[in-house]
Chain A
Amino acid sequence: MSKIHVTTSVNGDAVEFLCDPRETLLDVLRDRLHLTGAKEGCGTGDCGACSVTLDGRLVCSCLVLGAEAEGHEIGTIEGIANGEELHPLQQKFIEHAALQCGICTPGILVATKALLEKNPDPTETEVRYWLAGNLCRCTGYDKIIRAVMDTAADLRSDMKEAT
């Protein structure tokens, strides 16, 4: 089967790859680009472990074909920290112990970052609904919600100080 040549951008870097038409963006990220932060949980768009952004929009990379990435901008968990400096969400997840096994964590961080960019002051209910497509079988979610609410409050006070 002939492979498709795809030119795209991942975390701001121009990227080219060849992929089979059946290969998902998740397969491409993990197996061709060696960005293994996005995880395969269910492979059917139910669990959110493979969450990435596509032109800023939160999606499941298991439900996007690699070929569909052509000309678009992909954002993954690998692009969230600034070098060695963790993103505030990552720092708060550690402080709140908002993870145990860690499989869901990259997807949840990508998803919550997308939420806070869209809505810097979400209610707890909004956070819970936003994350309804990110399954975690360890934490019971509460620590995750605390970490997100705490990060959001910190980022808002940082914004106030900056203005």
Chain B
Amino acid sequence: MHYHTPASFDEAAALAASATGITRFLAGGTDVLVQLRADIVTPDTLIDIKHIAGVHDIIQMPNGGWQIGIAVTGAEMTEHPALAAAWPGVVEAMDLVGSTQIQGRATLTGNLCNGSPAADSVPAMVAADASVSVCGPKGAHKVAVLDIPTAPGRTSLAKGEMVTAINLPAREPGGGDAYLRFIPRTEMDIAVVGCGVNLRVDGGKITHARVSLGAVAPTVLLVGEAADAIIGSTLDDAALDRLAAAASAACNPIDDKRGTIEFRIHVAGVLARRTAKIAYDRAIAAGE
């Protein structure tokens, strides 16, 4: 295994483009090193991206949007009050990943690029309409977070392409987001179902909404029917019933030791209700 510490994105992407065999980018290493040690994935080329300028920064852009560096850890996000105020759902979702020790290393970009259908931060980012900046042979461009995972453990990033930042939109007035997951215990487990909701209210009525689900399909789901079920409502009981039904209907889960298909479908509806209520309360509070 060759270990590289490129000083720029161009250098890192060129290394990846010219490498033969298995290539992995190393940020926090909480997935890459586990796979390495378990002999699941033994990279021939390991590209440590933490020496690239700016990768540890959380920046608010002039338009109010946020740019999160690819080496920013979960702990650093949680410790950033302005980011947590703007996108509490995204920050809380990342904070649910692993222990204190894992939070000291794990990154939003790694959680996305590892490609797990149960990644906690990914539904929250999809609800937030986050995008990633990508560099590589095709030049710099942006891709919606929704379009990165293609199957469990797989992403749409081509050879030589790499994520250079995560972009969150500006928080609009009267907006709020939330993320909840179900696990069989209170801490340190993998989501059985995860749900992200991001919405905006005007005069108590929901004007925009995005509802996403994790761990109930091979990739994260953006559920348009679930958003439509609450847009125009004040999140009354009838709207919540429609939301839960739409969320459950969108699921295409597997049975595993953490939950059956029926359980996941049911819990998706329950979580959608609870998550939407939190996002709604935050949006109302932000609009006051």
| B2 smallest CB distance to A (angstroms) | 7
Chain A residues positioned under 8 Å from B2 (CB to CB): 21
Contact: A133 with B1, CB < 8 Å?
A: no
Contact: B33 with A24, CB < 8 Å?
A: yes
| A144 smallest CB distance to B (angstroms) | 15
Contact: B104 with A54, CB < 8 Å?
A: yes
Chain B residues positioned under 8 Å from A59 (CB to CB): 101, 104-105
Contact: A44 with B37, CB < 8 Å?
A: yes
Chain A residues positioned under 8 Å from B26 (CB to CB): 65, 68
Report the tally of A-B residue pairs with Cβ distances under 8 A.
82
- Among the listed B38, B46, B73, B188, which residue makes an inter-chain contact with A133, where contact means beta carbons less than 8 Å apart? B188
**A67-88 interface code vs B (CB 8 A; 1 in, 0 out):** 1101000000000000000000
Number of B residues with CB within 8 Å of any CB on chain A = 27
Contact: A132 with B188, CB < 8 Å?
A: yes
Chain B residues positioned under 8 Å from A131 (CB to CB): 100
Given A132-B99, A132-B188; A57-B37 close (CB under 8 Å):
no
Given A57-B75, A62-B37, A65-B29; A48-B101 close (CB under 8 Å):
yes
Query: Chain B: interface secondary structure?
Result: mixed
Contact: A132 with B33, CB < 8 Å?
A: no
A120 sits at the interface (CB 8 A): no
| A132 smallest CB distance to B (angstroms) | 4
A83 to B2, CA, bound (A): 40
Given A21-B2, A63-B105; A132-B100 close (CB under 8 Å):
yes
Chain A residues positioned under 8 Å from B5 (CB to CB): 70
Query: Chain A: interface secondary structure?
Result: mixed
Chain B residues positioned under 8 Å from A4 (CB to CB): 3
- Among the listed B46, B73, B105, B188, which residue makes an inter-chain contact with A64, where contact means beta carbons less than 8 Å apart? B105
A58 sits at the interface (CB 8 A): yes
| B30 smallest CB distance to A (angstroms) | 6
Contact: B29 with A64, CB < 8 Å?
A: yes
Chain A: CB-nearest residue to B28: A63
| A134 smallest CB distance to B (angstroms) | 8
Given A63-B30, A132-B187, A133-B188; A111-B104 close (CB under 8 Å):
no
Given A21-B2, A22-B36, A65-B29; A58-B100 close (CB under 8 Å):
yes
| B213 smallest CB distance to A (angstroms) | 25
Chain B, range 2-37, C-beta contacts under 8 Å to A: 2-3, 5, 26, 28-30, 33-34, 36-37
Contact: A48 with B99, CB < 8 Å?
A: yes
Contact: B187 with A45, CB < 8 Å?
A: no
B48 sits at the interface (CB 8 A): yes
Residue contacts A-B, CB under 8 angstroms, 5 given: A1-B1, A22-B1, A62-B33, A70-B5, A111-B101
Q: A51-B101, A65-B26 are in contact. List 13 more A-B contacts (CB 8 A).
A: A21-B3, A44-B34, A44-B37, A45-B99, A57-B104, A63-B33, A63-B101, A65-B29, A65-B48, A130-B100, A132-B100, A133-B100, A133-B188
The 9 A-B pairs at the shortest CB distance, nearest first, are namely A133-B99, A21-B3, A57-B104, A132-B187, A60-B101, A59-B104, A44-B34, A133-B101, A63-B33
